[in-house]
Structure formats: C-alpha cells, structure tokens
Amino acid sequence: MTAGEVTLRPGRHDDWPGVQALLREIDELHAALAPSFFRSAARAELEWRRLLVDAHAGAVVALDRGPALLRLVGVVVVRIYDTPAEPAMQPRRRGHVETLVVTAPSRRQGIGRRLLSAASEWARGQGAVEMVLTTWAGNQAADAFYESLGYRVLSRVLHSPL
C-alpha cells in the first residue's frame, strides 16, 4: 500500500470510527497473545469521548492523505500519573502510553515513532519527566520497536493461576 502524506493532530470525537477499527486490531493481537487476560470485544464510543475531555489524558491520531481519501492509520493514547506519596517512592510525574497502534499496512513508515514523539511532547508539557509503557509477552515486534527508541525494561510482572 502506498502511503500519502501522513499528518498528526489531536484526537477528536469524529475520529471514533477509525479509532475503533485500530483498537479492534490491537485488541485482537492482545487476545491472541494472552487469551486468559484479554478478549476481542467491541469498545464503546463513550470511552473515547471521556478520554478526550480528561485533563490528564491525551490522544494523537495519524491521518494518511492518500490519493483518494483521508484515512486514520494510527493513534496513541497517553495519561499522566504522579507517583504515590509514599516515603520510599521518588516523587515524579510520568506519562504512561496506554495504547499505540498503527494499522498493519502502514507500519514501518515512521508513523509509530512520530506518534510516540508527539505523545512525549504532550507529556513533557504536562510536567512529566519520563514515559512508561507495557508490552505483553510474545509481542517481539513491539519490544523491538520500543527498544530501538531507547526504552528499557523497568520491571516485570509475574503471574500464577490460583
């Protein structure tokens, strides 16, 4: 697929149909990687609408101006968190990438990198000093992408069935 000019802008309410398709793509991947944790289910538009008015959250979309139409090809969602006020914790504000997805035909064109850069810029503007995110075991493509941008393992989450 030949990409046109890809532009980024803040997410809007009318982006929902395209965002919903992107979330379905990532939800299906997560359900395949961790079926005991995730399932592929329809997301509610209300979730998107709430995100867009949340003062501690931001969303950026990537739009491809192809030869015939404008298509939404990527989205990043980031939230701001402060560490808990506990004596053993360093006080700091973090941006947390909740979702980053670029539609499969548009990957490996720098769109994910641009979206993550825009999310980082937004988080810095909110006073964040670092970005954190989670990848799921088995998602080597995501691990390689984030590592290529300088992300390193901070912790591991282990689980055991009861």
The CATH number of whichever domain residue 15 belongs to comes to 3.40.630.30
Instruction: Give domain status of residue 153, yes or no.
Output: no
Instruction: Give domain status of residue 108, yes or no.
Output: yes
As a whole number of angstroms, the distance between CA 96 and CA 134 comes to 9
**Looking at residue 105, what DSSP letter applies?**
G
Instruction: Give domain status of residue 71, yes or no.
Output: yes
Instruction: Give domain status of residue 156, yes or no.
Output: no
Instruction: Give domain status of residue 138, yes or no.
Output: yes
Tens-place pLDDT, residues 74-104: 999 999 999 988 999 889 999 999 999 999 8
Pairing verdict, β 93-102 and 130-133? parallel
Neighbours of 31 (CB within 10 A): 15
Instruction: Give domain status of residue 141, yes or no.
Output: yes
As a whole number of angstroms, the distance between CA 104 and CA 24 comes to 12
Which positions of the chain have pLDDT values less than 70? 1-4, 66-69
Q: What is the pLDDT of residue 2?
A: 45
As a whole number of angstroms, the distance between CA 88 and CA 144 comes to 32
Instruction: Give domain status of residue 159, yes or no.
Output: no
Instruction: Give domain status of residue 15, yes or no.
Output: yes
Q: What is the pLDDT of residue 1?
A: 40
Number of domains in the chain: 1
Enclosing domain of residue 23: 5-148
